[in-house]
Amino acid sequence: MTEQHHLTLTVNGRAHSCDVEPRMTLADCLRERLDLTGTHLGCEHGVCGACTIIVDGAAVRSCLMFAVQAEGAEITTVEGLADGETLSVLQQAFHDNFALQCGFCTPGFLTTAETILAENPSPTRAEVQSAISGNICRCTGYVPIIDAILEAAERRRAGKK
């Protein structure tokens, strides 16, 4: 039997523990062990950004990180953005700007955008364009996504959570 490591981590504010093989990626751990399937897998080699999550405040491609590397980490996935049934300001802005079609890329864009806005509450359009350049969407074109992130920044500055 393959060696298992006991892993403890916090996801969306909740402590979790599970046993994982050393080679299991964090993306697979989230999806298969913790049942958090909102984190999507596209390319599985760090190109598309669909699997992006927030690890200790940084946007991380969970397909490129082993689960064991997340020992003790604080993780936010797309499931942790809304407050119950209430969408976050960013999610609402995506909705209002039609910033998704199939939605496959959306969890990665939302988590990336959360880290952009945490670091820079007043980004320029060019800064947003640059910051999402590692996320690929094949449906929307990028204009509505950029509009949504800029609108979310504006709404947050106006005091919305």
| Residue 132 interacts with ligand FES (CB under 6 A): yes or no | no
| Residue 49 interacts with ligand FES (CB under 6 A): yes or no | yes
Answer whether 27's CB lies under 8 Å from 52's CB. no
Q: What's the CA gap between 11 and 30, in Å, rounded?
A: 9
Query: Which residue among 18, 21, 38, 41 contacts ligand FES (CB under 6 A)?
Result: 41
Tokens of residue 30, six digits: 């989230």
| Residue 31 interacts with ligand FES (CB under 6 A): yes or no | no
Q: What's the CA gap between 87 and 1, in Å, rounded?
A: 43
Q: What's the CA gap between 82 and 62, in Å, rounded?
A: 20
| Residue 152 interacts with ligand FES (CB under 6 A): yes or no | no
Stretch that binds ligand FES, among 11-19, 37-45, 73-81, 121-129 (CB under 6 A): 37-45
> In the block, which residue shows the tokens 């996935």?
77
| Residue 63 interacts with ligand FES (CB under 6 A): yes or no | yes
Binding footprint of ligand FES on the chain (CB under 6 A): 41-44, 46-51, 61, 63, 100-105, 137-140
